[in-house]
Amino acid sequence: MLLHSNRSTLLYHGWPHAYFVTKHAMLFARDHAADETVVGSAALVHDLNYLVRPDSEPTAGAGMITARMLASGFSKKKAELAVRIINEANLGARGPEISIEAACLSDADTLFKALPFTPILLAPAYLLENGVTLRELATKIVREQLVRLEDGYYFYFSEVKDRYEVWARENIAMWQRVLEALNDDELSWLSDQLSLLNKEE
């Protein structure tokens, strides 16, 4: 499988992430009468852009996604639909009104980001996979996620929002504190030194 064979490259966006997102997206599809097959296939391949180019947008993976789906027996129409769903669910670009299929993928993917242990276990993996700094990651998270949380569409389904929004709020607040700390010269220096220690290990 593509995700397994690239596990040394996809340190954050690898199989555990894809499995979690696909499983939950399909559960949401079942609960909300969306097309499970289309949602599941889109969820499974939604991060292939990171194989094309680190720190990229979903559009970078459109060609690879289409080719993989066609090779797996999907019609061109279904492959194009999956690409549209993936682009529509993109956290950095999505709006308050999206299709039910994109909402299934979005809520599953966003839930993974909001899990209390995701930043603890996977932030270093994200930095290494994408070649970004801690400041760049924190800035991206706060910029993309805070506005959607404040405007009420961080999650789309009420049952997901009711259960998990508190985790999202605490997660984003933590990343805001990271940015505040990095704006202090002494603490920024300390962060850089600790990052170097992690790289030496």
* pLDDT per residue as tens digits for the range 107-163: 999 999 999 999 999 999 999 999 999 999 999 999 999 999 999 999 999 999 999
User: So what's the pLDDT on residue 201?
Assistant: 52
What are the angstrom distances between the C-alpha of 116 and each of 27, 89, 119, 158, 165? 21, 22, 7, 20, 11
Six-digit token string for 119: 């930043």
Rounded mean pLDDT of the chain?
95
Span between the terminal Cα atoms of the chain, in Å: 29
* DSSP state letter for 60: G
Amino acid at 95: G
Q: How far apart are CA 118 and CA 17, in angstroms?
A: 10
Six-digit token string for 128: 């290494």
Counts of helices then strands in the chain (DSSP H, E): 11, 0
How many domains does the structure of the chain reveal?
Answer: 1
User: So what's the pLDDT on residue 1?
Assistant: 65
Percent of the chain with pLDDT over 70: 97
CATH of the domain at 87: 1.10.3210
Residue 53 has pLDDT above 70, yes or no: yes
Domain span at residue 58? 2-200
Cβ atoms of 127 and 196 closer than 8 Å:
no
Six-digit token string for 78: 């279904």
Mark residue 150 as left, alpha or beta (left: phi above 0; alpha: psi -120 to 50; beta: remaining). alpha
* pLDDT per residue as tens digits for the range 75-105: 999 999 999 999 999 999 999 999 999 999 9
Residue 36 has pLDDT above 70, yes or no: yes
Q: How far apart are CA 169 and CA 66, in angstroms?
A: 35
